Chain A
Amino acid sequence: MFLIHCPYCGEREQSEFKAGGEAHIVRPKQPTELSDDQWAEYLFMRKNIKGVQFERWVHTHGCRKWFNMVRDTSNDEIKAIYKMGEKPPTKYK
């Protein structure tokens, strides 16, 4: 079970958090102008990487704040955590 460093509360047990899937998928500003394929791309398609992945997490049983995490899915190592709206650390791209 992970120990996650919530950027607002500090280090907490994984059981306080919920994972929210891939990060940095921006909701289209004008959905009505997208084709079915483009909308499906936004709605359904996810990378599901084995290796370094950018994810969204929320401190459900804590401050209820969303934040981003860079995690290596092959060994569960958490490489970085940063707040919503902050730029992702470039070295993992």
Chain B
Amino acid sequence: MTNNLRVKSSKFIDETYKISFKFNNKTYYGYKGDTLASALLANNIHLVGRSFKYHRPRGIMTAGSEEPNAIVQLHKNTSRTEPNVRATEIEIYEGLEASSQNCWPSVNFDIGGINNFLSPVLPAGFYYKTFMWPASFWEKYEYFIRKSAGLGKSPTEPDPDIYEHKYIHCDVLVIGAGISGIIAAKTSAKNGFKTLLLDEKPHLGGSTIYQNSEYFKINNQISSSWLEKEINEIKKIDNLEIKTRTSVAAFHGYNFLLARENLTDHLPLHQRDGKVRHRLLKIRAKKVISATGSLERPLVFDNNDRPGILLSSAIEKYSNLFGVACGQKNIIFTNNDSAYETAISLFQKGIKIEAIIDNRENVDSKLVKEIEKNNIKIYKGYTVVNTFGYKRINKISIMQLSKDGQKVVGSKISIDCDCLGMSGGWTPAVHLFTQSGGKLKFRDEDQVFIPDTYPSDQISIGSCNGEFTLDEILSSISKKLKDFLNIKKTEYENLEIQSHFNKTKRNIWLLPSDKIIGKTKPFVDYQNDATAKDIKLALREGFRSIEHVKRYTTTGMGTDQGKLGNMHALGIISETAGSKMGELGTTTFRPPYTPLTFGTIVGRNVGEYFDVFRKTPIHDWHVENKAKFENVGQWKRAWFYPKKNESMHEAVQRESKAARDSAGILDASTLGKIDIKGTDASEFLNRVYTNAWSKLDIGKCRYGLMLNEDGMVYDDGVTTRLDENHYIMTTTTGGAATVLGKLEDYLQTEWPELDVYLTSVTDHYATISVCGPNSKKIISKVIPNLDLSDEKFPHMSFKNTKIDKVKCRVMRISFTGEQSYEINVQANYGKSVWKKCMEAGKEFNITPYGTETMHLLRAEKGFIIVGQDTDATMTPIDLQMDWIVSKKKYDFIGKRSLYRSDTIREDRKQLIGLVTENPKEVLEEGAQIVLDASKSPVEMLGHVTSSYYSPNLEKSIALGVVKGGKNMIGQKLIIPMENKQINVTITDPVFLDKENKRLNA
């Protein structure tokens, strides 16, 4: 329980507010304002995890969302556990429990560490190369490979937290609340634009807010003090909304952005219940200002990954913002001036600096002079060639760089240390910009990619635009904002800026070593253990495209997406292959910028809200009567109604028998219903159905088949002529919306001259179908004054009538082959009419049946179900439904395709019936049908599409499609199953009542 690395107190840390937390089961404390990383560092803990491939000890490297190493598992073995959380981002709270990942049994002693010594045999592409042979062994290898893959453990219990989505519309969105973002947001809001300012951190002000150096002043005030006043002012502006802890995940076209607002991750667990954890903001901004800043680059040298090696800017942030010294014997290793800022700020806090190693030979800026004045040794023109210390750095060795920077010369010097800060310059955070479709250009002088062309109304300002010094930023920001926001002036036109920063940099992507590359480990991607050696190997093996090298070496494929190392990978490729950086391009930056929880993505759409579902007006009755439900599209349809302990099979057999022997009742409300009106309605139906409609009498119904223009069956259903210019079309349950869409398409785009109006009325009516030999008696009880005689109300006709005072339409149509009446009544009367039918049918043992029985009954009659017996490759001819295709009609949708060379082939798959040799044997739907299973390869003739045990025929029946099946009636075929072969015979698809006697029985 020590916090002995606290230095001068920081105003961002509340030392009166102690917080205790656990790391790897040991209790520590930190202060309010600490991140897990800063609190661990204050307790002198650097070793946090193990690397992915070699299990090398790794420590905290950064102080932000780019962290590759310090990723931990939170609250292990609880429902709130979360893997791969960056210790540098999570704010500590009372009761926080974090543990190391990818190590066993512990982070201090990790068995997997043996991989480090095996590394010579684990090169890039190791898995691809090793597990290729013999191919049949892959399944065995895979088991072990999968086991060793992955970092943290995902939760196994349901997520107790709540998530939500929110739309935000604004005039100007500013991403990033550093100095540029603050200035932009204030200017925008003060000019009347509705402005939204987002930052991923809990505080505003970016890195400027903790820069207390005398060397950077604005209007004679230290830059942080100046910025603090600006921040206090913007908090008072009405039309400026500020959200912290909010990271923009994605920047899509047309200024549509997704951001994740983190609301409770910094609170103790007991304070989170009932609160929204993450909120996904869906933002539409008229204008976007990116001020996303830049990320410091590491340097690539042998063993540059040991715990205790951090980015120099991170060391500065830990000391200035959190009041924590990362080490007591610090060395700074740099190729540019910005590390001197760190050095000075450490020095001023009394933190010891052993030396500065600078790649550059001639450096003499004001910052450098200040260091020299304080007797800190600067090794100019030197590089680090190696580091030592297994779980914490304890020594480095350095050598002088040759003039061209490609070799090291002279003798080695060793220096003891416990912390090494490295600074390889800065990489603009252009991730969001490129996601939006922006194109980058390469700036040779300091080797950075910066925004070039913008695809939408947006700009990048500050260091994400490659402006790395205070004077660069502030001298141009005013003009940029004026142009972009189209305003006359800003309050930042005449700032007095003092900035002592020399921009010279000596960029060497892979620093030379005294050893050959094969003997070194210069890490490029820390999390995935990809080294410069791996990248060079990939190039030797012939990989050239950056995208291929990335996948082969896994560079940039970790949870950090290579925020630190991708530029070095590019640099090394370009140096090795001799190509220009600007021409290589970059790998694609994909959303999200930082990982999102699944909860954030799904929001409230969980459980029963995962997908909306539709209920019929009779749904409650089905629930009360213990129906099992089936999903059909978005509908919940009654599937079958088991009695007591009935199995599904038993229930379906009972329901099927009852429907044929006496009476059955089906809720058919889900069928799509389209109301068609207009003087050209008949002509329209003529064009969309395969059969003729002009001569259909008023009051009559007709079955229709609809094709796609390619001649394949698309939908079917019965359409009724209600009046001269008024029809009602029924469609399949699943096809209702697409059929309406297709009809509208033709009506609006191909035949705008037709006077036809389509209205979807699916939800307006409840549809109750009563079938069976006693159906007539039941309907006559429900509607006593309706003449049900076959002469007055024959099959395929309809009547307008009333049940009590409620208007209804009754159609005499049948999908079961039984005499059958379909009552359509206003939806809100559906349940009471259903109950009335049940009551009237009681004496006839009226039996409610579900979709399964409906399918069985229609299969007995050989009626197809579009989508089950057809699959968008079946023409009506294939279905043996030639009778419904009009020969006389000049044209209808799909007609021309019915005699294309392909559709007239005799050996197309055609619908047939199948009966099994053993009548008890029920086929599996989808099973393959063959003629001879002994010859390899076995020729597949077709497959089973529908299969049932028919209680009415007391045998197994099936429908299927077989090549040339139409002419194969009586042919014996084989259905090979896993352990047996089933003998079947092809029959006509109509199994029951071929003469349709039952319709009028």
A75 adjacent to chain B (CB < 8 Å):
yes
Residues on A with C-beta less than 8 A from B749 are 56, 66, 84
Question: Are A64's CB and B744's CB within 8 A?
Answer: yes
Which chain A residues in 34-93 approach chain B with CB under 8 Å? 34, 36, 39-40, 43, 56, 58, 60, 64-66, 75-76, 84-85
Contact of A31 among B437, B891, B901 (CB under 8 A): B891
Question: Are A1's CB and B253's CB within 8 A?
Answer: yes
Question: Are A39's CB and B900's CB within 8 A?
Answer: yes
Chain A residue nearest to B255 in the complex (CB) = A3
Which chain A residues in 12-38 approach chain B with CB under 8 Å? 18, 20, 26-28, 30-32, 34, 36
With A1-B253, A3-B254, A58-B741 already in contact, the answer to whether A75 and B284 are too (CB < 8 A) is no
Residues on B with C-beta less than 8 A from A34 are 896
Residues on A with C-beta less than 8 A from B256 are 1, 3
Question: Are B455's CB and A58's CB within 8 A?
Answer: no
Chain A residue nearest to B711 in the complex (CB) = A43
Q: Considering the chains assembled together, what is the distance between the CA atoms of A40 and B744 in angstroms?
A: 24
Question: Are A75's CB and B900's CB within 8 A?
Answer: no
Question: Are A84's CB and B748's CB within 8 A?
Answer: yes
Question: Are B284's CB and A60's CB within 8 A?
Answer: no
Residues on B with C-beta less than 8 A from A85 are 752
Question: Are A32's CB and B896's CB within 8 A?
Answer: yes
With A2-B254, A75-B437 already in contact, the answer to whether A20 and B897 are too (CB < 8 A) is no
Residues on A with C-beta less than 8 A from B901 are 36
B890 adjacent to chain A (CB < 8 Å):
yes
Q: Considering the chains assembled together, what is the distance between the CA atoms of A58 and B744 in angstroms?
A: 10
Contact of A60 among B741, B752, B896 (CB under 8 A): B741
Residues on A with C-beta less than 8 A from B750 are 26-27
Residues on A with C-beta less than 8 A from B895 are 31-32
B921 adjacent to chain A (CB < 8 Å):
no
Q: Considering the chains assembled together, what is the distance between the CA atoms of A16 and B709 in angstroms?
A: 26
Q: Considering the chains assembled together, what is the distance between the CA atoms of A56 and B252 in angstroms?
A: 22
Question: Are A2's CB and B897's CB within 8 A?
Answer: no
Residues on A with C-beta less than 8 A from B253 are 1-2, 76
Question: Are B437's CB and A84's CB within 8 A?
Answer: no
B710 adjacent to chain A (CB < 8 Å):
yes
B745 adjacent to chain A (CB < 8 Å):
yes
Q: Considering the chains assembled together, what is the distance between the CA atoms of A50 and B860 in angstroms?
A: 52
Residues on A with C-beta less than 8 A from B437 are 75-76
Which chain B residues in 251-304 approach chain A with CB under 8 Å? 252-254, 256, 284
Contact of A40 among B254, B455, B900 (CB under 8 A): B900
Q: Considering the chains assembled together, what is the distance between the CA atoms of A64 and B710 in angstroms?
A: 24
Number of B residues, CB within 8 Å of A: 23
Q: Considering the chains assembled together, what is the distance between the CA atoms of A75 and B252 in angstroms?
A: 12
Chain A residue nearest to B257 in the complex (CB) = A1
- How many Å from the CB of B550 to the closest CB on chain A? 24
- How many Å from the CB of B754 to the closest CB on chain A? 13
Residues on A with C-beta less than 8 A from B455 are 75-76
Chain B residue nearest to A28 in the complex (CB) = B896
Q: Considering the chains assembled together, what is the distance between the CA atoms of A1 and B254 in angstroms?
A: 6
- How many Å from the CB of B591 to the closest CB on chain A? 12
Which chain B residues in 874-924 approach chain A with CB under 8 Å? 890-891, 895-897, 900-901
- How many Å from the CB of B165 to the closest CB on chain A? 13
Q: Considering the chains assembled together, what is the distance between the CA atoms of A32 and B896 in angstroms?
A: 6
Residues on B with C-beta less than 8 A from A64 are 741, 744
- How many Å from the CB of A2 to the closest CB on chain B? 5
Q: Considering the chains assembled together, what is the distance between the CA atoms of A46 and B639 in angstroms?
A: 43
- How many Å from the CB of A4 to the closest CB on chain B? 9
Residues on A with C-beta less than 8 A from B710 are 43
Chain B residue nearest to A34 in the complex (CB) = B896
Q: What mask results when residues 738 to 778 of chain B are scored 1 for a CB within 8 Å of chain A, else 0?
A: 00010011001110100000000000000000000000000
Q: Considering the chains assembled together, what is the distance between the CA atoms of A27 and B749 in angstroms?
A: 10
Chain B residue nearest to A64 in the complex (CB) = B744
Q: Considering the chains assembled together, what is the distance between the CA atoms of A24 and B745 in angstroms?
A: 13
Contact of A66 among B252, B744, B891 (CB under 8 A): B744
Q: Considering the chains assembled together, what is the distance between the CA atoms of A34 and B900 in angstroms?
A: 11
Chain A residue nearest to B750 in the complex (CB) = A27
Residues on A with C-beta less than 8 A from B891 are 30-32
Q: Considering the chains assembled together, what is the distance between the CA atoms of A52 and B710 in angstroms?
A: 28
Chain B residue nearest to A44 in the complex (CB) = B710
- How many Å from the CB of B255 to the closest CB on chain A? 8
Q: Considering the chains assembled together, what is the distance between the CA atoms of A27 and B891 in angstroms?
A: 12
Q: What mask results when residues 490 to 530 of chain B are scored 1 for a CB within 8 Å of chain A, else 0?
A: 00000000000000000000000000000000000000000
Residues on B with C-beta less than 8 A from A43 are 709-710, 897
- How many Å from the CB of A78 to the closest CB on chain B? 9
Question: Are A84's CB and B897's CB within 8 A?
Answer: no
Question: Are B897's CB and A66's CB within 8 A?
Answer: no
- How many Å from the CB of B893 to the closest CB on chain A? 9
Contact of A58 among B254, B284, B709, B745 (CB under 8 A): B745
- How many Å from the CB of A50 to the closest CB on chain B? 15
Residues on B with C-beta less than 8 A from A56 are 749
Contact of B896 among A26, A39, A66 (CB under 8 A): A39
Residues on B with C-beta less than 8 A from A18 are 741
Residues on A with C-beta less than 8 A from B252 are 1
Q: Considering the chains assembled together, what is the distance between the CA atoms of A27 and B751 in angstroms?
A: 10
Q: What mask results when residues 216 to 258 of chain B are scored 1 for a CB within 8 Å of chain A, else 0?
A: 0000000000000000000000000000000000001110100
Contact of A65 among B284, B709, B748, B897 (CB under 8 A): B748
Chain B residue nearest to A26 in the complex (CB) = B750
Q: Considering the chains assembled together, what is the distance between the CA atoms of A43 and B895 in angstroms?
A: 12
Q: What mask results when residues 423 to 462 of chain B are scored 1 for a CB within 8 Å of chain A, else 0?
A: 0000000000000010000000000000000010000000
Chain A residue nearest to B256 in the complex (CB) = A1
Q: Considering the chains assembled together, what is the distance between the CA atoms of A63 and B252 in angstroms?
A: 26
Contact of A36 among B254, B752, B900 (CB under 8 A): B900
Q: Considering the chains assembled together, what is the distance between the CA atoms of A2 and B744 in angstroms?
A: 24
Q: Considering the chains assembled together, what is the distance between the CA atoms of A28 and B890 in angstroms?
A: 13
Q: Considering the chains assembled together, what is the distance between the CA atoms of A28 and B891 in angstroms?
A: 11
- Residue of B284, B749, B897 with most chain A CB atoms under a 10 A cut-off: B749
Chain B residue nearest to A27 in the complex (CB) = B750
- How many Å from the CB of B649 to the closest CB on chain A? 41
Question: Are A84's CB and B752's CB within 8 A?
Answer: yes
- How many Å from the CB of B764 to the closest CB on chain A? 17
Chain B residue nearest to A65 in the complex (CB) = B748
Residues on B with C-beta less than 8 A from A27 are 709, 750
- How many Å from the CB of B130 to the closest CB on chain A? 40
Q: Considering the chains assembled together, what is the distance between the CA atoms of A31 and B896 in angstroms?
A: 6
Chain A residue nearest to B284 in the complex (CB) = A3
Residues on A with C-beta less than 8 A from B709 are 27, 43
Question: Are A66's CB and B745's CB within 8 A?
Answer: yes
Residues on A with C-beta less than 8 A from B284 are 3
With A66-B749, A75-B437, A85-B752 already in contact, the answer to whether A32 and B890 are too (CB < 8 A) is yes
Residues on B with C-beta less than 8 A from A65 are 748
- How many Å from the CB of B590 to the closest CB on chain A? 16
Q: Considering the chains assembled together, what is the distance between the CA atoms of A66 and B745 in angstroms?
A: 7
Residues on A with C-beta less than 8 A from B896 are 28, 31-32, 34, 39
- How many Å from the CB of A16 to the closest CB on chain B? 13
Residues on B with C-beta less than 8 A from A28 are 896
Chain A residue nearest to B167 in the complex (CB) = A13
Q: Considering the chains assembled together, what is the distance between the CA atoms of A20 and B744 in angstroms?
A: 12
Residues on A with C-beta less than 8 A from B254 are 1-3, 76
- How many Å from the CB of A86 to the closest CB on chain B? 12
Residues on B with C-beta less than 8 A from A31 are 891, 895-896
Q: List 5 A-B contacts (CB under 8 A).
A: A31-B895, A39-B896, A39-B900, A43-B897, A58-B741
Identify the 5 closest CB pairs spanning chains A and B, nearest first: A31-B896, A1-B256, A66-B748, A27-B750, A3-B254
A contact residues vs B (CB 8 Å cutoff): 1-3, 18, 20, 26-28, 30-32, 34, 36, 39-40, 43, 56, 58, 60, 64-66, 75-76, 84-85
Task: List 19 extra interface pairs beyond A18-B741, A34-B896, CB under 8 A.
Answer: A1-B252, A1-B256, A2-B253, A3-B256, A20-B745, A31-B891, A36-B901, A40-B900, A43-B709, A43-B897, A58-B741, A58-B744, A58-B745, A60-B741, A66-B748, A66-B749, A76-B253, A76-B455, A84-B752
